[in-house]
């Protein structure tokens, strides 16, 4: 029940558990992490397992991951949604800069269309709001691209509730991508706004940068391990299952560069948490040492 279909933007049906491609880039999102053959195997396995939403960004590599996706999956299967991002320029490992001027966004869109071999990008997300460019100009540029048929739906990434309100006043927003997971819930207000408007909420770091995959450092998050044992599952599977149960608008897109971990993540869709599980997990918060 937890991986039912969600209609992204109201018209793009996707299974809720997708695939995030950031881990196919190397450390700091720089260059490629794996050889092309291994990346291709992971991407094709994700689609074979029923993934309908692949999330990427032009600055993963940069450019590299979009090209890997096209090489592995084009021509794309019917119903596969490719989401990518704009508004950030990466100049080195973990080094990036805002790039939200309209001419930059238009150029980034055209480049992503070429690399992904698409006529229209299904979901185009503003990776970060550029503080030096009026928001109306940034979203206005995306709206123009939408009207021109270059993109289908607009999303935003890493926004406060107040910023999301401003975005909604400027354009129709189909998705929000914020940091959110079992022990990091700073975006609850944003999630509530998405629920009220049926806006897709794509949590990044759904496994807390790996912390939730082990149940927490030193067993701090014993509740996750306890629930996992009851279900014969891993801690990471429980963390993903919790997201799928938390709200029907949540579309987790966990990333991995491991075929085994990919299968493990996708198997989380079959885990049904009961009221006792959810009560135990809902009480968790970020460890004080983090």
- Rounded to the nearest 5°, which phi and psi values hold at 261? -70, -35
H helix intervals, the chain: 36-48, 64-73, 102-116, 135-147, 161-170, 188-197, 222-231, 235-246, 259-267, 275-282
Decide if 28 contacts 94 (C-beta within 8 A): yes
Could you say which of 29, 60, 124, 180 is catalytic? 60
CA-to-CA distance for 10 and 20, rounded, in angstroms?
A: 21
Q: Which residues contact 205 (CB under 8 A, 6 or more apart)?
A: 179, 180, 181, 184
What is the C-alpha to C-alpha distance for residues 244 and 25, in angstroms, rounded to an integer?
A: 26
In which residue are the tokens 């949590």 written? Answer: 203
Checking 160-163 for CB contacts under 8 A at 24+ apart, the result is 160/189, 160/190, 161/189, 161/190, 161/193, 163/129, 163/135
Indicate the SS3 state at residue 183.
Answer: coil
Query: Hey, what are 49's tokens?
Result: 């397992």
User: Which residues are within 8 A (CB) of 124 and not within 5 positions of it... i.e. 6 or more apart?
Assistant: 83, 84, 85, 86, 109, 112, 142, 145, 150, 151, 152, 153, 154, 155
Length of the chain equals 290
Catalytic residue list contains 29: no
- Active site members: 60
């Amino acid at each position: 029940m937890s991986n039912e279909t969600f209609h992204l933007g109201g018209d793009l049906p996707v299974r809720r558990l997708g695939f995030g491609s950031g881990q196919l880039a190397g450390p700091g999102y720089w260059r490629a992490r794996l050889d092309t053959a291994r990346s291709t195997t992971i991407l094709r396995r994700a689609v074979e397992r029923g993934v309908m939403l692949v999330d990427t960004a032009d600055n993963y590599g940069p450019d590299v991951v979009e090209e890997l996706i096209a090489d592995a999956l084009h021509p794309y299967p019917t119903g596969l949604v490719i989401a990518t991002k704009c508004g950030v320029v990466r100049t080195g490992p973990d080094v990036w800069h805002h790039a939200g001027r309209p001419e930059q966004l238009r150029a980034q869109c055209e480049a992503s269309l070429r690399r992904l071999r698409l006529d229209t990008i299904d979901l185009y997300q503003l990776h970060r709001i550029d503080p030096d460019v009026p928001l109306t100009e940034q979203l206005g540029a995306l709206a123009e691209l939408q009207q021109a048929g270059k993109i289908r739906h607009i999303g935003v990434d890493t926004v406060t509730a107040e910023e999301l309100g401003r975005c909604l006043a400027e354009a129709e927003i189909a998705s929000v991508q914020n940091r959110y997971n079992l022990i990091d819930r700073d975006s609850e207000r944003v999630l509530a706004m998405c629920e009220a408007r049926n806006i897709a909420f794509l949590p990044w770091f759904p496994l807390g940068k790996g912390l939730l995959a082990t149940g927490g450092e030193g067993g701090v998050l014993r509740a996750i391990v306890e629930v996992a044992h009851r279900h014969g599952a891993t801690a990471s599977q429980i963390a993903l299952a919790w997201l799928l149960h938390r709200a029907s608008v949540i579309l987790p897109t966990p990333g991995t560069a491991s075929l085994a971990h990919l299968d493990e993540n996708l198997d989380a869709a079959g885990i049904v948490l009961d009221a006792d599980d959810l009560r135990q997990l809902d009480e968790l918060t970020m460890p004080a040492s983090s």
